[in-house]
Structure 1
Amino acid sequence: VDSEDTQYTDILLACTRHLLEDLKDSANPKPLLNWLESRWQELKDLALTELAFDGLSVEAKISQYGKLTANLRAVPTLRQQIRQKINPHTVTLLKALNQFITEAKQNLPAGCTKLAVIADNLDRIVPVIQESNQTNHEEIFLDRSEQLTGLKCHIIYTVPISMLYSKRANDLREIYGDAQVLPMIMVRTKEGNLYQPGFNKVKEVISKRVGQFAPTRSLETDIFESPEALERLCLMSGGHVRNLLLLIQTAIARTETLPISLRAVQRSITDARDTYRRTVQDGQWSVLADVYRSKQIHNNDQYRQLLFNRCLLEYQYFDDEGERQCWYDVHPLIKGIREFKDAYAQLDSQQ
């Protein structure tokens, strides 16, 4: 889905496409293809095709459905038109999809007993205030919850973290149950010291990625020119795996031959830091400084926005009594930005 412009219809169509493509050999796709065929005359122009649907093979029909959903994402000018055509028929599409799922569950591959769908990247959907004065997040995950929970299989939705800190958090819990928050990998303790178990896990993530292409190479001498280069990259990720991989990707792009130099790592960090500098608004530097000092957040829109933008990171651990403890910190990349340093110095001078 497009993180800048996503609606429930987009999610339903994406789930349908993936299930249809992945399970076409486990169940008869006829219910879904019949649904599409009955609307083909009004949809074929939006799929950018002149093909007559009734003369196509099953594989070709599935391909046409794929083109329609691909255009939903790739061609913004068609997006709203597709939604307008599909929206009145989402109930019947869901019914057809469930018929397909029910049969597929009876013919799963050997060793498989259940079917699960993971709708990933929905946590990246940018919040937009709508005319109704509610957000698009509320429209998708709450107003459309009956449909989102209507698939006859296990399903995991990722959700923007800001929703879990919103006034609708209880509504979300009542509908979907307890959300499983995936915290950052703790590479430093709350006091700022290196947390070796977490640091080792981050290195393990890199090692497994690199191992796919260079299984015999040493991470600290062959892939990176020194342990220092590897350590700096790991710590600057803040334990955020997506950020970690982006930092590596940028460092590799600045490397002609292995190993990755400390200079390339630093350039990667500098580029990412500049992105964060542009992300933070003028009035937010003092908020970040306050969190850096207190390791806690306030539950309001400012803090939720900074969590959503990953300027603030959440960490968790279990104390000696088995209780989950949460704490928050500023993304390590931000700590080197002049505006943040100034805001923290000003806060410190007021103590």
Structure 2
Amino acid sequence: MSVNLRDFFRACNPAKTLNCKHEQDRKYYIDFSKLRGAEIAEELAKTITWTDGPTCQLFSGHIGCGKSTELLRLKASLEEEGFHVVYFESSQSLAMGDIDVSDILLATAHQVSTSLKNAGISLRGGYFRNLLQECVTFLNTPIDISVETEVSLWGLGTLTAKAKDSPSLRNQLRQYLEPQTESLIAGLNQEILQPATDILCKQGKAGLAIIIDNLDRIDDRRLDSGKTLPEYLFIGRGEQLGQLDCHVVYTIPLSLMFSNEQQALKNRLGNGSSPLVLPMIPVYRRNGAGLAQLRQLVLSRAFPDLAPETREASVTELFDSSETLDRLCQMSGGHVRNLLGFTVSCLRKTKQLPIQRDSVERTIREARDELLVSVTEDEWALLEKVTQTNAVTGEDEYHSLLRSLFVFEYRTDDNGRWFDVNPLLTEVPKLQ
């Protein structure tokens, strides 16, 4: 089967999030759940579908490991169960480097009310109309708010958009809204979430669920209080974020899993349940199953309509040998976005298929060089420790090793949780 180089390149776009509601994306999707030690989307869905009343769940993992794809799978699963699901990427509405609880609540109110209106559910509420009118007066900012507008829908969107783009307006708005956080939560519950749930249930729906993606991208800067911004939001203010009267899934920064206050996070926002973490795909364990599935990740982008075993037989149409593809998969360390990025880099260097081994080695060398310029002598010592212990402990080691992708986290049923150095660095003489 002939493969179009341009089509293969586009299919490997590492920035694209698969949405399994779309037929073509389903063909690209590879199920890594058994290799990762958990079926994350299924676990999140069970908590929602098996629980009477609101739930609040936390989800984390490395950037680029496939969280958004799993959350969209969760959305599709819940919709099949009869839920109205509001999924939104917080980074589209909020400034990730400067964010507070009121910002998250206001963005949630806008996203939910928009989704409900699109579903034919119109809500009218005096609280948000009055709040937005007060904000306009306080900020002296022209925003068109009509008495007839459902929950001041258009005004909410305009206000959040203006606040994201203007630091000064954002600070003024926050000064006004933060003292009213409890009233904002009550208004959100009483004028949007509770009425919407009642209407949905009367329509035969199972209820309302909100999935807030990309909050893991919040800046990890340290505040004057000594706490990091994620600690302040999800631990210090966690009880408030957990008061929404429907099912909510928050993505949270992986750094919180290494915080001294992780148990407080679990109890204040997680309602006693630990956050679910999406780890990397283990390449070298489980008798090579991880490597085989990573091969399928690449092969499916070229041969989406072929059965897995048939794809394996066609590998030499893409690479000069199966060993060349294996080399690329091994060097990714089971990081999905990195593997797709490596493949795209190889394709840039290739005039025609199959991809040659020298293109793969050049891609690996370039990626390694990018990492090497960031590694300090102290971090080399930490990396040496990881090679001996397969462990990372505390916030300092997280910031030095995991956030920079020097080290990856893995979890399996039989091995539990462990850490390994990014394979791009393991061939450097300092670690040999």
Is contact 2:333-2:423 (8 Å) kept?
yes
Q: How does 1:51-66 map to 2 (within 5 A)?
A: 51-54=143-146, 58=150, 62-66=153-157
Quote the offset at 1:117 in angstroms. Answer: 1.9
Aligned to 1:92: 183
Q: What is the aligned-residue RMSD (CA, Å)?
A: 3.4
TM-score (norm. length: structure 2): 0.64
Q: Which amino acid aligns with 2:123?
A: P
Tell me the percent identity: 33
* Counterpart secondary structure, 1:202: helix
Q: Which moved more, 1:88-97 or 1:128-137?
A: 88-97
Q: Which amino acid aligns with 2:236?
A: D
Is contact 2:124-2:149 (8 Å) kept?
no
TM-score (norm. length: structure 1): 0.77
* Counterpart secondary structure, 2:277: coil
Q: Which amino acid aligns with 1:273?
A: R
Q: Which moved more, 1:324-333 or 1:20-29?
A: 20-29
Q: Which amino acid aligns with 1:29?
A: L
Q: Which amino acid aligns with 1:53?
A: I
Give 2:420's match in structure 1, choosing from 316, 329, 332: 329
Q: Which amino acid aligns with 1:332?
A: P
Unaligned runs of 5+ in 2: 1-90
Is contact 2:332-2:339 (8 Å) kept?
yes
State the alpha-carbon separation in 1 of the partners of residues 155 and 193 from structure 2.
20
Alpha carbons of structure 1 residues 221 and 334: separation in structure 2 relative to 1, 3 Å? same
Aligned to 2:111: 18
Give 2:384's match in structure 1, choosing from 274, 286, 289: 289
Structure of greater relative contact order (alpha carbons < 8 Å, 6+ residues apart): 2
State the alpha-carbon separation in 1 of the partners of residues 331 and 205 from structure 2.
40
Aligned to 1:301: 396
Q: Which moved more, 1:197-206 or 1:231-240?
A: 197-206
Give 2:327's match in structure 1, choosing from 232, 235, 245: 232
Alpha carbons of structure 1 residues 215 and 33: separation in structure 2 relative to 1, 3 Å? farther
CA deviation vs aligned residue, 1:169-190 (integer Å, no higher than 9, x gap): 211122212221222111123x
* Counterpart secondary structure, 2:411: strand
Is contact 1:26-1:107 (8 Å) kept?
no
Is contact 2:139-2:172 (8 Å) kept?
no
State the alpha-carbon separation in 1 of the partners of residues 148 and 363 from structure 2.
49
Is contact 1:313-1:330 (8 Å) kept?
yes
Is contact 1:27-1:103 (8 Å) kept?
no
Quote the offset at 1:64 in angstroms. Answer: 4.2
Q: How does 1:128-139 map to 2 (within 5 A)?
A: 128-139=221-232
* Counterpart secondary structure, 1:327: strand
Aligned to 1:115: 208
State the alpha-carbon separation in 1 of the partners of residues 241 and 260 from structure 2.
20
CA deviation vs aligned residue, 1:146-197 (integer Å, no higher than 9, x gap): 22101111212222222222211211122212221222111123xxxx8522
Unaligned runs of 5+ in 1: 346-351
Between Structure 1 and Structure 2, how many residues are aligned?
Answer: 326
State the alpha-carbon separation in 1 of the partners of residues 241 and 158 from structure 2.
23
